Structure 1
Amino acid sequence: MATNSLKWVYLIILSLIWGSSFILIKKGLIGLTPIQLGAIRIIFTAFFLFIAGFNRIKSIKLKDWKWVVLTGLLGTFFPSFLFAYAETEIDSSVASILNSLVPLNTVVLGLLIFKIKSTKRQVLGIFIGLLGTFFLIINGASINPNQNYQYVVFVIIATFMYATSVNILKRHLQHMSALTIAVGNFVVIIIPALIILVTSGFFKTEVLEAPTLKPALLYMLILALFGTAIAKVLFNRLVHIATPVFASSVTYLMTVVAVFWGVLDGERFSGLQALATVIILFGIYLVHKRQ
């Protein structure tokens, strides 16, 4: 298959995989508590990554481990729990839209903390994106009065963690392959995840015998295998055969997929929320637009 066609195939597959992750979390919460879901998601993903490249650990130099630990905690560990808690109160489609703030927050943190220069266009994009976020939250709270929209804070915190992790990766771990970093991340976070799962009450008889447990574990297995292990490989290949701008466009398409799944599952999504989503994505476009 020609490279131009192949990059579109990768883009569509990635959008479908990552766009479906939010509904999988929602379905997993039917049989698991947020703390159990986050821990199991990490453990399952670690299993697949260790099969793919456990021997890569020995290639990580001692001076790099502090950055591997930080990106593991900020880029995977804490967000896994934060998104699970957020989706106990807010719709999966809203969580996915707010997740698209990561590119904006990456620029914000790059400017404020990592002293990476930004253009006026990027600053304008950040402002527009934040404005769209405000409208999305306000309107979502008005059409879903039974939901506690204060839980969007968990998603926003997670996006800043993702953004910090991305900046650390760019500055300190650029010389390492994505699989090596991922394996190192999960070597660090699998131990606390196991401890959390054991102390969460997961192994109590009433939990293990609950009819909702098996479907929830299946959803987490799918999320771990496709949403992390396979998606990472596909994204790396996409970056190699396409421009960074083209690869980053997965942010837009995965949001559309996630909203589709949410509406299909009975979530309310108003015209004003759709407008707010367009405003947010336009802000992201300005941030990533080439000169």
Structure 2
Amino acid sequence: MSKRDLITFITLSFMWSLSFVFYRIGVPEFGSLAFASLRVIFAGLVMLVFILVKKKNREGLRKNWQLLALVGIFSAALPFVLFSLSAQSVNAGVLAVLNASVPMMSGFIASTFFKDRLSKKQVLGLVIGVIGVTILMSESLFAGNESAEGLLAGLLPMGYALLACVGYAVGANITRSYLYHVSPVAITAGSLIIASVLMLPVAAYEFPYGQSISLQAWVAVICIGVFSTAIALIFMNQLIKNIGPTRATSITLVIPIFAIILGYVLLGEALDTRAVIGSIVILIGTYLSLELSITKLLRS
């Protein structure tokens, strides 16, 4: 990995970890659906430039719009809405750790539905990851809630985040299996533009008209759309090209570290022992499921 790639890797980790902080700032004022919709729309507007300036990207969108629509729904529209719902009560660090389970879910879906076999190490990683998620949810699962409503209220926010990860995993497998011949920029641009068109009526309907939206909330939704979505995905595509998808995907192991620190510093979120332990277990499971080697990751 070159110094330039390492800088890109760290920068991208920081940009994506900030997205979970932006959720916590913007969602309370905009509402979950409006915030998620605006995120997609701002990202789609940025990526529209790449469609307009390069013919190859336009052709990729025109020839594959049906599949790109599916990728846009599973990898953008649905996950953004679900993470926004989760962000109402789950702190930024835990959201980032749950997001790190995407590679595990992607491997499971690839093995189950796309006939990609998992190694023993990957299966072990999946099992450890599930244990980590259980630890994160343990307060709601084993706190002795007297009613089913109380249990559901405790688990539902994290369930939203996990469903969002399933969406990311489905979108990734569709891309890998059916869009391998399309350039990464065209895939990103096409999926985000189509997703933004689909989410435009939702944004118009759910926007909190008549309510005063703070400058902080507007900055959060613009930054998460432009920097933590559109530009971040461009960086990710470049990183995949330079160092390969496996090492690039390992960025999910670094994002939670930034997110937990930023949540603590910027939002005053507590460093809960249960969350820290669960996070570590999930990261170990993700590391194993990716079949990564620290030595190889640091080697050029």
Report the TM-score when normalising by structure 2: 0.87
Determine the structure 1 residue equivalent to 2:64. 64
- Name the SS for the 2:118 alignment partner: coil
CA distance in 2, matches of 1:75, 1:131: 25
Q: How many residues align?
A: 283
Letter in 2 for 1:190: S
**Structure 1 residues 142 and 241 mapped into 2: Cα distance closer, same or farther (>3 Å)?**
same
Q: 1:89 to 1:165 in 2, by over 3 A?
A: same
* Alpha-carbon distance between aligned partners in 2 of 1:290 and 1:25, rounded to the nearest angstrom: 30
Q: In structure 2, do the counterparts of structure 1 residues 290 and 9 end up closer, same or farther at CA, with 3 Å as the change threshold?
A: closer
Alignment partner of 1:130 is 2:130: yes
SS in 1 for 2:89: coil
- 1:11-60 Cα deviation digits (max 9, x unpaired): 11011000111001110123211111011111111111112333555312
Q: For 2:130 and 2:108, how far apart are their aligned partners in 1?
A: 11
Residue 151, structure 1, aligned to residue 157, structure 2: yes
Cα shift readout 1:45-77 (whole Å, capped 9, x = no counterpart): 111111233355531276632211110100001
Superposed CA deviations along residues 179-224 of structure 1, whole A, max 9, x for unmatched, are 211222133222231211221243x3x22xx1x3432121111111
- Residue type of the alignment partner of 1:99: N
Aligned equivalent of 1:171: 177
Equivalent positions of 1:54-203 (< 5 A) are 54=52, 56=55, 58-60=58-60, 64-139=64-139, 148-202=154-208
Q: What corresponds to 2:298 in structure 1? A: none
Give the counterpart of 1:272 among 271, 274, 289: 274
Cα displacement string for residues 231-255 of structure 1 (whole angstroms, at most 9, x for unaligned residues): 1221122222224332122111111
Give the secondary structure class of the aligned counterpart of 1:108: helix
> Which amino acid is the alignment partner of residue 85 of structure 1?
L
Q: Contact 2:247–2:292 (CA<8 Å) still a contact in 1?
A: no
**Percentage of pairs with the same residue:** 23
AA partner of residue 272 (structure 1):
R
Could you tell me whether the CA contact under 8 Å between 2:185 and 2:237 is conserved in 1? no
Structure 1 letter corresponding to 2:5: K
SS of 1:115's partner is coil
CA spacing shift, 1:254–1:40, aligned 2, 3 Å: same
User: C-alpha deviations, 1:59-96, integer Å up to 9, x for none?
Assistant: 12766322111101000011111111111122122111
Does the 8 Å CA contact 1:89/1:149 hold for their aligned counterparts?
no
Per the TM alignment, residue 142 of structure 1 is displaced from its structure 2 partner at its CA by: 8.0
Equivalence for 1:49: 47
Q: CA deviation at 1:10?
A: 0.8
Map of 2:27 onto structure 1:
29
Structure 1: how far apart are the matches of 2:207 and 2:13?
35
* 8 Å contact from structure 2 (residues 125, 286) kept in 1: yes
For structure 1, the 5+ residue unaligned runs are none
Separation (CA, whole Å) in 2 of partners of 1:191 and 1:245? 31
Structure 2 counterpart of 1:229: 230
Q: Residue deviations 1:134-176, cap 9 Å, x none?
A: 0011147789x99834211111111111101111111000111
Q: CA RMSD in A?
A: 2.2
The corresponding residue for 2:297 is none
Question: Match of 1:116, SS?
Answer: coil
Aligned-partner Cα distance in 1 for 2:62–2:241: 28
Q: Would you say 1:249 and 2:255 are equivalent positions?
A: no
Contact kept? 2:45, 2:193, Cα under 8 Å = no
Between stretches 251-260 and 269-278, larger displacement belongs to 269-278
What secondary structure does 1:164 align onto?
A: helix
| Contact 2:61–2:186 under 8 Å retained in 1 | no
Partner residue of 2:216?
Answer: 215
Deviation at 1:290, TM superposition (A): 5.1
Is this contact kept in 2: 1:139–1:273, CA < 8 A?
no
Runs of 4+, deviation exceeding 3 Å: 54-58, 139-143, 145-149
